[in-house]
Structure 1
Amino acid sequence: MARLTRAEQQQRTRAAVLTAARAEFTEHGYAEAKIDRIAERADLTRGAVYSNFAGKRALYLAVLAADAESSRSAARQPLRSPESTGEALGAFARVWLERLPLAGDTPASGHLQLRSLSGVVDTEPMRAALAELLRLEALLLALSLDAERPPVRVADLALTLLHGAAGLAENAPGAGDPFDVARAAEHLADLPLDADEPAPHLAFTAPAREVGDAWTPPTGARDEITGEPVDLGDDGVVVVLGAGRLSAVGEAAMEGTTFVVVTADPAETGSLVRLRIADVVACLRRVFAPADLPRIRIVLDGEGAMLDALDTAAVDDHTETAVRIHNGRITHRAEGHGAGHAVTKVDTVR
């Protein structure tokens, strides 16, 4: 029998740790889970666990992210999308509410089923990243509802309603009626809300610089929305965003734009990003036909390969760099808040 390579052995060890951790979190919950017990369940040493995961929080987020990605992969897409915004919101709510625990579920298993972050996201950078992710989730739902005039405020209200139902179910399983919540989501489409306004700072954003730089893009990228490979060398706009700038997707959400998400903390913040994007996309895939999913691309770059290719400064949560690619070269470039908007504006007027 052929011996496993080092990479294969590490992959097998990581999978064993994740399986053991899922069992531990299901039985004891996040707060009471112990790394020693996880190592024992996996028949590994404590050191083997820490060589693959930075700590309990990173491990918990990795378990939730793996579950969300599995749900996304298994999602069966409909042949057609709902015919109205209200119908779509109701269908999305029903899919989302399937995660609610039942009255007979244990608290620990219910929290895992909810993909609860209670007591987990307790650092300021992660809280800020979560706020940005919630805005991104609303945008992705809004783009699925209407690609031309995405109703972001309506989508944001729908997700607020659903997260409120989850919070109630987490503390009082069985409370509330999910069918009533889904019906309420349908009626959000009829609220007389003002149109979404562009961010005020965009009016003062410096224009993109015209350059003629060589472009050697990283390979192996994958779109988190469709699951399809992404060629970062194709003509178009690429926007690199830190976890604290994800709401900037809405400033440059032109069809075909690729958004590359980077983070200085792949183990925890990176797993949080993976979790939330996979989770909302799994729900979107079950409600909307493939042609009606958001027509932007989101790529996760846990290794920082994109920043190396762009020769930019070290990544932080507020990173925002955008480039326009044409014929294998970088033709325009911008950095800082509004960079994505500046580069897509160039694309519009060319």
Structure 2
Amino acid sequence: MGEPRIREALDGVPDYRPGRPPSTTDGRVPYKLSSNENPYPPLPGVLDAVDAAARHVNRYPDMGAVALYEALAHHHAVPTTDLAAATGSVAVLYHLLQATCEPGDEVVYAWRSFEAYPIAVRLVGATPVEVPLTMTAEHDLDAMLAAITPRTRVVLVCTPNNPTGPAVPPGALASFVAAVPDDVLVVVDEAYAEFVRHAPGVEGLAALEHYRARGNVVVLRTFSKAYGLAGLRVGYAVAPARIASAVRKVALPFGVSDLAQAAAVASLAAEKELLERVDAVVAERERTVQAVRAAGWSVPDTQANFFWLPAGERTLEVAEAFGRDGLAVRPFPGDGIRITIGEPDANDRVVAVLRRTSATG
């Protein structure tokens, strides 16, 4: 007797396994440092906007996201036709691949990078082409260019790179974008862009300038990280109008809730206060990474709201040490651990664990 068929593409997609919530037995506050969440809650004005929107949840959201698109268009100085929103930037990526890739097409990206990339690629039946990071956990842009073939449809550049932290220098990104064939889409995933602090003297065009200059560049952004709206799920693409239209066509109708739209618009209006909080996270990042390095651990340069601990074969052992101290971190077995910058007390506890745990085993 037969049974319903499931697409073969799903064979390469792992089941989601939620991490264990952090806990302590000594009364101390447990901290979740595994999801790169902003430790600050939304600003009061944002909560007021959400409260107002919540009074109308008997109605469908604005499917056209008119207010959100107008606010984003003003914020980035782009036309509303060049915007496409969805439930987080990862959903925008899924829709983008749905709109551009077919079975047999290839998608090139660095590895290790955002763990959703291989899943999203396989779900549309395309072939992932993973290019190893450099020894300093950065994108190897020359190798990525060499990996492009006539079957390549999309190249993903995650900057800062999740989970390792380094950002692609602006000049290097400019050279890379210029070298990619015009019929290959370059997707610059800037989920952590607000946390980037390039060294003095580092100059070059921002990703949005490449979108303005070329017809094959898309920039992904999110309100989940710097803006502290991870629980509401809203991200967006800035893309040439033809690409943005295709993304909107395949997006789930009414996907971005009115609460999320209202919170995003209010967050853009309160950007000055929000970016002050981002500066505080960056200061904690620098303090924490410096202390971790002083404890003997190697940490790549990070421009995000997390840092990478290349623990290798000891990854699970070290992650368990954090767990015993009430800290949930994100281990990648055999590679390393991604640790979110959280509250100062949480960061102090991270440093204390690593001072007690030998970097050499």
The TM-score normalised by the length of structure 2 is 0.25
Q: Point out the structure with the larger helix share.
A: 1
The TM-score normalised by the length of structure 1 is 0.26
